[in-house]
Amino acid sequence: MELTGKKFLVVGASGVLGAELTRQLQEKGATVLGTAKVNDTAGNIPSKVEIRLLLDFENPESVKTLTDYLLASSEIDGIINASGLVAFGEASALDSETIGRLMAVNAAGPMQLFSALQPLLAKKDESVVVNLTGVVAETPLPGIAAYSASKCAIDGFLTGVTREWRRAGTRVVSARPGHTETGLAGRAIAGEAPNFPQGMTAQHVAARIVQAIESDEKELPASAF
């Protein structure tokens, strides 16, 4: 996919990785619509982004408001979801609210968003959906079992719709990088992060994803990073 002149919705453009993806897409000549969860964090979206939108995956009405707006008023060539929540601790120590939040932000919300916007993407000769899924979708780990499960859920969804949406010209990519230094672990909604080894930089991960979009790659397993 030639990125010059293309328009992307970057979910989580206010975060470290989402902001980096936004900058790199813009450097390639793409236009970005960026989302943040609340007004207070919208200021973290790179300054060159002219259209800033609010999206809260924990609120299905928020997702519907955004998708209704885009369906009525915009054209997009791609969606990149770089948002997410993490929680640490043994599964028996996690309460139902924490598990529900993980599933909403990491799985159910993106499913709702992608499904609602697929007809918009299908209007293009070529389009792409990329979800930052993570290595835990390949190798679920103890201490983050619920987080792993939420990522396995969205990965399974992406695998299924890959075949559904291929005929419409929409490429679906589940990006599964290993630990990346975005600060997410320090913002866990439960538990405390273990001492992870040094992770990959956001710049490296974003560059690999942008390369994959340009090269029409269909798979981005952990080994690709």
pLDDT category of residue 90 using cuts at 50, 70 and 90: very high
Tokens of 187: 């913002």
Burial of 54 (0-12, 13-18, 19+ CB in 10 A): middle
First to last CA, the chain: 20
- Could you give the percent of the chain with pLDDT greater than 70? 100
Across residues 171-198, what is the average pLDDT? 93
H or E element that contains 7 = strand 7-11
Q: What is the pLDDT of residue 195?
A: 85
Structural domain spans, the chain: 7-224
Instruction: Please check the confidence at residue 68 and state whether its pLDDT lies above 90.
Output: yes
Residue-level pLDDT at 194: 86
Write down the pTM of the prediction: 0.96
Q: Give the span between the Cα atoms of 82 and 133, in whole angstroms.
A: 9
Q: Residue 10's beta-bridge partner residues?
A: 34, 80
pLDDT above 90: residue 196: no
pLDDT of 221 strictly over 90:
yes
Helix axes 96-103, 145-166, angle to 10 degrees: 30
What is the structure's pLDDT at 13? Answer: 98
At residue 193, the pLDDT reads 87
pLDDT of residue 14: 97
- How high is the pLDDT of residue 23? 98
Round the average pLDDT of the chain to a whole number and report it.
96
The CA distance from 139 to 117, in Å, is 29
Second CATH level (architecture) for the domain 7-224: 3-Layer(aba) Sandwich (3.40)
**Burial tier of 44 (Cβ tally within 10 Å: 0-12, 13-18, 19+):** middle
